[in-house]
Chain A
Amino acid sequence: MGNPKEIRPTMTLNLEGEPCPYPVVYSLSSMDQLKSGEILEVIADCPQSFKAVPEEALRAGYILICEPVVDGPTIRFYIMKP
């Protein structure tokens, strides 16, 4: 469970207000543009994406480098390209 103290993402994708299915589509498309070892920060507030984004990132072969960070109705994910 324990999250690391510090994460330095390479890119940020702010998807606040974006409804389904765009958070998943945007996140996965953005991951495609990253290089190996780079980290994408995704900020989302579409409740469905709370589960869909991390689960689909894993299914696509990416790594979640920490537990999703919840801040009330908003959530942040840190996804790394292996």
Chain B
Amino acid sequence: MQKRGFFFSDVANLFNHFWNPMLTTVIAGVLSALYFGVTGTSWAVTGEFTRFAGHLFPIIGIDPHSLTYIDKVMKLEGGPFDRIDGWVVIGMFSGALFSALLGGNFKLRVPKQRRRLVQGFFGGIIAGFGARLAMGCNLGAFFTGIPQFSFHTWLFMLGMAGGTYIGVKVALHPVLLGKPKLEKAVPAHRSLESKKSSKSSLQPILGMVVVVFSLALIAWQIATGHAKLALAGLFGIAFGLLIERGQICFTSAFRDLWITGRATMAKALAIGIIAATICTAVIISLGVPQKITWAGPGALIGGILFGIGIVIAGGCETGWMYRAMEGQIQFVIVGIGNIVGAGLLAWGWDHWGLFNLMVKEWPKVNLVESWGWSGALLGTTGFMLLWYIFSDYWEKRVRYVTQKSGQIVLMHGEVERR
């Protein structure tokens, strides 16, 4: 019995704090390669959001199967419960939810400035549109895309780096920045003792209920002969748990570099992607076909739009998922925006000629075919190491600076010597 007590207190301790982002990202990277091995598809979410948009198209009188993107590219069939991508999304929601609850970190959070909600919606639309133009978000075209050795992900990453810089300029523009309520402090006594996720609260119990419910759902899938869907759900739960506990915010990897010079997430992602690359290479060499898509202006411009959108919205497609589960209302709206944006792209693919204009003529570049195995592995890990070194250098040189006029600007260099 005593042993059991130890086990439970160990588990409780795990949820008392947020996990080291680099370690968590590396674990997510290794798991994402395993997920690819098990399901034959990479960890991604926006494809499924596009199918959600497909389910909603009939409401505005459009047959989703008349759209090439939804019918042929995303292969819309059945409902989320019939699809691997659907189960990974459901798993992520439940994993993030019980992680937030077990940590006592759930709280309905509504921004005081209503402009944040508008921002979230439009940022979400731009990000959803850009992601699908590039055939994937921070996951499919970046975190799990780079390890597939598809060159379009390099274009997407460069686009995202530039797009987030523009996004920072927009998000910190006085119109969106707004004014914080800086007040004279009330001279009353304040308790300076931390109350670690109040043990008496209902949240950990609700968290356990979500754990049991999700596992029951998985067991039911296995029992009815859908082992693959069940596995996708299990991986989803692990991914949701990891991104919430590690607060893995892909948006901040670039945004923070441009605002304060903070490189915590940039460095974590660089190492996480290297781990994912090595493990994914093993899976590919065992014979699982790679996911390669068009390396053209669609990937680059999609990356730029995506970068702008995620900074304005405050989070990307994975970011809104765990934040919505923590009770952050703004990110429910970002999610709705994402689905609308993905739907717009699906419409524009045919009707605005986006496919012919930006995608069709461009080659699908597979780095393993172009550079051979050693070239592809060295090139990809080298690219990520360069990004790590750049971020580390940048972090040491750049600090946040407020201008006298209240305008926020970037300041480069010369900080150390002051």
| A-to-B contact residues, CB < 8 Å | 3-22, 24-26, 28-30, 32-33, 39, 41, 45-48, 50-52, 55-56, 59-60, 66-74, 76
Q: Is the interface of B mostly helix, strand, loop or mixed?
A: loop
User: Which of A4, A14, A17, A51 is the one whose CB lies under 8 Å from B109?
Assistant: A17
Q: Are B260 and A59 in contact (CB under 8 A)?
A: yes
Q: Please, which residues of chain B bring their CB within 8 A of the CB of A24?
A: 259-260, 262, 400
Q: Please, which residues of chain B bring their CB within 8 A of the CB of A3?
A: 192-193
In the complex with contacts A17-B109, A51-B18, A60-B400, A6-B189 CB distance below 8 A: yes
Distance (whole angstroms) from the CB of A70 to the closest CB of chain B: 4
Distance (whole angstroms) from the CB of A54 to the closest CB of chain B: 12
Distance (whole angstroms) from the CB of B209 to the closest CB of chain A: 19
Most buried by A among B189, B247, B408: B247
Distance (whole angstroms) from the CB of A34 to the closest CB of chain B: 9
User: Which of B181, B201, B315, B400 is the one whose CB lies under 8 Å from A28?
Assistant: B400
Is the CB of B3 closer than 8 A to any CB of chain A? Answer: no
Distance, CA A74 to CA B190, complexed state (A): 14
Q: Are A21 and B259 in contact (CB under 8 A)?
A: yes
Q: Are A59 and B192 in contact (CB under 8 A)?
A: no
Q: Are B171 and A14 in contact (CB under 8 A)?
A: no
User: Which of A8, A29, A46, A60 is the one whose CB lies under 8 Å from B187?
Assistant: A8
Number of A-B contacts (CB under 8 A): 146
Q: Please, which residues of chain B bring their CB within 8 A of the CB of A12?
A: 182-186
Q: Are A71 and B183 in contact (CB under 8 A)?
A: no
Q: Please, which residues of chain B bring their CB within 8 A of the CB of A16?
A: 109, 112
Contact with A along B193-216 (1 / 0, CB 8 A): 111111001000000000000000
Distance, CA A33 to CA B405, complexed state (A): 12
| B-to-A contact residues, CB < 8 Å | 18, 104-107, 109-113, 116, 171-172, 177, 180-187, 189-198, 201, 247, 249, 251-252, 255-256, 259-262, 264, 311, 314-315, 323, 326, 328, 330-331, 399-400, 402, 406, 408
Q: Are B259 and A69 in contact (CB under 8 A)?
A: no
In the complex with contacts A25-B172, A46-B109, A20-B198 CB distance below 8 A: no
Q: Are B247 and A69 in contact (CB under 8 A)?
A: no
Q: Are B259 and A25 in contact (CB under 8 A)?
A: yes
| Cβ-closest chain B residue relative to A23 | B180
Distance (whole angstroms) from the CB of A58 to the closest CB of chain B: 11
Q: Are B172 and A20 in contact (CB under 8 A)?
A: no
Q: Are A19 and B315 in contact (CB under 8 A)?
A: yes
Q: Are A72 and B107 in contact (CB under 8 A)?
A: yes
User: Which of B109, B181, B201, B260 is the one whose CB lies under 8 Å from A13?
Assistant: B181
Q: Are A17 and B192 in contact (CB under 8 A)?
A: no
Distance, CA A74 to CA B18, complexed state (A): 14
Distance, CA A28 to CA B191, complexed state (A): 24
Distance, CA A8 to CA B185, complexed state (A): 8
Distance, CA A48 to CA B268, complexed state (A): 15
In the complex with contacts A19-B328, A30-B182, A71-B111 CB distance below 8 A: no
Most buried by A among B190, B260, B400: B400
Q: Please, which residues of chain A bring their CB within 8 A of the CB of B110?
A: 17
Q: Are B192 and A73 in contact (CB under 8 A)?
A: no
User: Which of A9, A15, A21 is the one whose CB lies under 8 Å from B256?
Assistant: A21
| Cβ-closest chain A residue relative to B404 | A32
Distance (whole angstroms) from the CB of A5 to the closest CB of chain B: 7
User: Which of B194, B247, B251 is the one whose CB lies under 8 Å from A71?
Assistant: B194
Q: Are A56 and B400 in contact (CB under 8 A)?
A: yes
Q: Please, which residues of chain B bring their CB within 8 A of the CB of A33?
A: 182
User: Which of B112, B180, B260, B330 is the one whose CB lies under 8 Å from A30?
Assistant: B180
Q: Please, which residues of chain A bring their CB within 8 A of the CB of B184?
A: 10-12
Q: Please, which residues of chain A bring their CB within 8 A of the CB of B109?
A: 16-17, 19, 45-46
| Cβ-closest chain B residue relative to A5 | B192
In the complex with contacts A6-B189, A19-B314, A47-B326, A26-B262 CB distance below 8 A: no
Distance, CA A20 to CA B259, complexed state (A): 11
User: Which of A6, A7, A56, A69 is the one whose CB lies under 8 Å from B262?
Assistant: A56
In the complex with contacts A14-B181, A24-B260, A70-B196 CB distance below 8 A: yes
Please list the 5 inter-chain residue pairs (A to B) with the smallest Cβ-Cβ separation, ordered nearest first: A73-B107, A26-B180, A3-B192, A9-B185, A70-B194
